[in-house]
Structure 1
Amino acid sequence: MTVRIPEQPWLTASSTRAVMAALEAFGGPGCARFVGGCVRNALIGQPVADIDIATTLTPEQTDGAIRAAGLKSVPTGIAHGTVTAVAERRPFEITTLRRDVSTDGRNATVAFTDDWAEDAARRDFRLNALYADADGQVFDPTGEGIADALAGRIVFVGDPETRIREDFLRILRFFRFHAWYGRGAPDAAALAACRALADGMTRLSAERVSSELMKLLSAPDPRAAVAAMDAAGVLSRVLPEGRLSSLFDAAVEQGADPVARLMVLLPPDEAVIRQAAARLRLSNAVRDRLAFAVQALPGVGLGMGDREARAALYRHNAQAVSDAIRWRWAEAPDQADEARHLLKLADGWTRPSLPVGGRDLARLGVAPGPETGRLLKAFEAGWIAEDFPVAGHAERLAALVSARRG
């Protein structure tokens, strides 16, 4: 039975047609097919972000064909067979069909081929080993990819252990794809292979692991996948500092973003969080967000009033306090109304600037020096306690100076 992907804007776009026409002008009809995620997502009605193309042309032929058509060609990975074509400012990653010559669990040495079945055999999951021609006709070399995509099954191509030994990152990819596209229980053979080979992930770079982890945590509902990771002993390899608890379930139900989900997998200990961030090579922005949330946590409770909330927001920052509120909400799901009120306050509050400074103290006869800092700190403490009044600053400062002198 012939299967075609439903009509897609990207499939009929002039930029897409220009790239496919350029390749076929050189290699003839059928020399290029869409592959992987764009075909899979089109089949199951999910958005398509990247358009990848597989071709029987060599990288050099691909580059020449793209340039001959007047399009931009970027040699992004010639050694591995990849050229990026740019048409109407949209990139298309074009890769020559490949077969593995050797692998070491991280990198593969490949040879080019013109055999679509050989190319499919080296891919990770059957639902990713799908191809479609320029008219949308789908080709399924494994014979099970279409059925897997429609049923929400994440099944390795061939033997799961063999696929994992080729690249141990496929363990995390299995759970990530299950989080995004899987339905029901994970494939038993795949799960067993992930459990048996989990130690192999120590050979992976921290950047690859953290990137895959954050993609997994970005899924609409990754709870089942993360629970399966934990049961298979994979989560403890990725996050030895972490633990899975009801807090994670609650954070997902709140609609928390990936960083907030990661936060509740880690203990509320700044030193441990910074250690985990360094080991995973997380970005400075993510590291600081996690650390600042933990710093704010002791001063945040869902029972605090608006005045206390504004004081916390002033001392920390809106993101840190919001993250701390979400943490407390995860601890007490029945206080959702209080949490939502505080989150709304945090989102709408603008941190005021301290309304006095050293010049104001100089006008009151206070010479620059340590006493200036002590007076300003005392003024700030009172200003916060009074909920940031907008008037009477000169009088309060003068009274403070007078009291100190007295």
Structure 2
Amino acid sequence: MATLPQTDWTQRADLAQLVAALGAENMRWVGGAVRDTLLGVEVNDVDAATTLHPPEVMERLEAAGIKPIPTGIDHGTVTAVLPEGNVEITTLRKDVATDGRRATVAFAEHWQDDAARRDFTINALFAHPETLEISDYFGGLGDLAARRVRFIGDARERIREDHLRILRYYRFQSRFGAELDAEAEEACAELAPMLKGLSRERIASELLALLALPAPQETLARMHRAGVLGVILPEAGEDTIAAHGQLLAHERAQGVAAAPLRRLAALLPADPRLAEQVAARLRLSTKQRVHLVRLAKRGGAPEGTPALIYAEGPRVAEDLLLLDNAPVAGVADFTVPNFPLKGGTIVARGVAAGPEVARILQAVERRWVAEGFPDAARVEALLDEALGS
């Protein structure tokens, strides 16, 4: 019997308290924490499955002095608030009906029923909270060893149950996969049009999660060849996918972390109106939309990198420089200076308050930026020149 290796999270004192509250035979660690531990990947979130129904889960947590939050109680999920990180506890479930966008579920009694409704074999591994013995109902351990992402059961059936599984497949394959699963690849290509029925928010979430991975380039190229990328991002073509690859190489060469919006910008033609349309279609936040549209304009400031940082801020400036294949060393550490001239100083020099003050202020600021942010004495001299002219 395979077992989960002991690691930091399996030895947490607060998790031992949780196990004592619910009973070791009533729960299992499941999903990403089990998968990532077996792969030697850092675990960020711990999830548990349980045979107990939500009211009893909450009652037991409260009796043990653990705060419960009914985060998704209608679907069987209760969050246990713990000192070293919260845990989502979900009652075993089985699908009753699916329509490709959402599922109607019922509580189940057996661990295998819950495993059967999950998407991929590597996500359906359960670990006993005390013995750490692993329950593997669908060959997930073998797939992990082969670095293969494989649907549980028939791939086409699983995609018809939830169309988003197409994008999840590519994301998980990019993150964990090495050996391609032929059935999964064929099913995703064949059923790609089903993605049109999903909410734009769900598509955006999966797309940005894929773009946040270290090396999604080959996956994006495969999605393009399979016709999947054309459904969710028709603006991306072979030329922009190649530009995206150049950006990734530039990021690696300069040791810059992934930024999903920067990478999305690289997948789009440099057209602000088009970026606006994509942001609206994907239901991006206002902040994300503004950022994406600015990146679509490309090009830095003619005065150089410091001027660009002053005008745009470090984050936007770094993205623009990377998209233009320019060096970014020092951008993140650059301290944006404060312009030492105020409108009141100009008024005190005899200029009537109004548009003329703003014009002079802007003219002096432009020269101050162009000269590399000189000190207040030089700004005073620049003001003298502006007033003299």
1:323 is matched with 319
1:182 is matched with 177
Per-residue CA deviations over 1:27-77 (Å, capped at 9, x if unaligned) read: xx5321111111111111111111111122222222222223232222222
How far is the alpha carbon of 1:190 from its aligned partner?
0.8
Report the Cα distance in structure 2 between the residues aligned to 1:99 and 1:77, rounded to whole angstroms: 16
1:388 is matched with 373
Report the Cα distance in structure 1 between the residues aligned to 2:22 and 2:330, rounded to whole angstroms: 56
**Residue type of the partner of 2:307?**
A
- State which drifts further: 252-261 or 5-14: 252-261
1:245 aligns with 2:241: yes
**Residue type of the partner of 2:359?**
R
Change (3 A) 1:86 1:357: closer
**Residue type of the partner of 2:277?**
Q
1:42 aligns with 2:37: yes
2:126 is matched with 131
How far is the alpha carbon of 1:89 from its aligned partner?
5.4
Report the Cα distance in structure 2 between the residues aligned to 1:267 and 1:130, rounded to whole angstroms: 42
Q: What SS is found at the alignment partner of 2:86?
A: strand
2:116 is matched with 121
Change (3 A) 1:380 1:197: same
1:264 is matched with 266
**Residue type of the partner of 1:380?**
E
1:299 is matched with 300
Identity among equivalent positions (%) equals 41
Q: What SS is found at the alignment partner of 2:324?
A: helix
Report the Cα distance in structure 2 between the residues aligned to 1:75 and 1:395, rounded to whole angstroms: 65
- Alpha-carbon contact 2:300-2:321 (below 8 Å) kept: no
**Residue type of the partner of 1:211?**
S
**Structure 1 segments of 4+ aligned residues over 4 angstroms from their partners:** none
Report the Cα distance in structure 2 between the residues aligned to 1:202 and 1:109, rounded to whole angstroms: 21
How far is the alpha carbon of 1:350 from its aligned partner?
2.7
Per-residue CA deviations over 1:145-192 (Å, capped at 9, x if unaligned) read: 1111121100000001111111111111000101111113x2111111
1:160 is matched with 155
1:233 is matched with 227
Superposed, which structure 2 residues align to 1:364-403 within 5 Å?
364-390=349-375, 391-403=377-389
How far is the alpha carbon of 1:108 from its aligned partner?
0.8
1:274 is matched with 276
- Alpha-carbon contact 1:289-1:319 (below 8 Å) kept: no
Change (3 A) 1:68 1:382: closer
Change (3 A) 1:48 1:393: closer
**Residue type of the partner of 1:13?**
R
- Alpha-carbon contact 2:220-2:241 (below 8 Å) kept: no
**Residue type of the partner of 2:27?**
A
2:64 to 52, 63, 69: 69
- State which drifts further: 382-391 or 318-327: 382-391
- Alpha-carbon contact 1:34-1:132 (below 8 Å) kept: yes
Superposed, which structure 2 residues align to 1:323-362 within 5 Å?
323-329=319-325, 339-340=326-327, 343-362=328-347
Q: What SS is found at the alignment partner of 2:90?
A: strand
Q: What SS is found at the alignment partner of 1:344?
A: coil
Report the Cα distance in structure 1 between the residues aligned to 2:95 and 2:40, rounded to whole angstroms: 32
- Alpha-carbon contact 1:293-1:321 (below 8 Å) kept: no
Change (3 A) 1:399 1:281: same
Change (3 A) 1:314 1:9: closer
Q: What SS is found at the alignment partner of 2:222?
A: helix
- Alpha-carbon contact 1:292-1:316 (below 8 Å) kept: no
Change (3 A) 1:356 1:63: closer
Per-residue CA deviations over 1:111-143 (Å, capped at 9, x if unaligned) read: 11112222111110011111110221001011x
Change (3 A) 1:60 1:385: closer
5+ residue gaps, structure 2: 253-257
- Alpha-carbon contact 1:364-1:398 (below 8 Å) kept: no
Report the Cα distance in structure 2 between the residues aligned to 1:113 and 1:260, rounded to whole angstroms: 43
- State which drifts further: 359-368 or 117-126: 359-368
Report the Cα distance in structure 1 between the residues aligned to 2:60 and 2:365, rounded to whole angstroms: 68
Change (3 A) 1:173 1:389: same
- Alpha-carbon contact 2:45-2:85 (below 8 Å) kept: no
- State which drifts further: 223-232 or 98-107: 223-232
Q: CA RMSD in A?
A: 1.9
- Alpha-carbon contact 2:221-2:241 (below 8 Å) kept: no
1:313 is matched with 309
Change (3 A) 1:75 1:347: closer
**Residue type of the partner of 2:384?**
A
- State which drifts further: 100-109 or 285-294: 285-294
**Residue type of the partner of 1:47?**
E
Superposed, which structure 2 residues align to 1:77-88 within 5 Å?
77-88=72-83
- Alpha-carbon contact 1:127-1:145 (below 8 Å) kept: yes
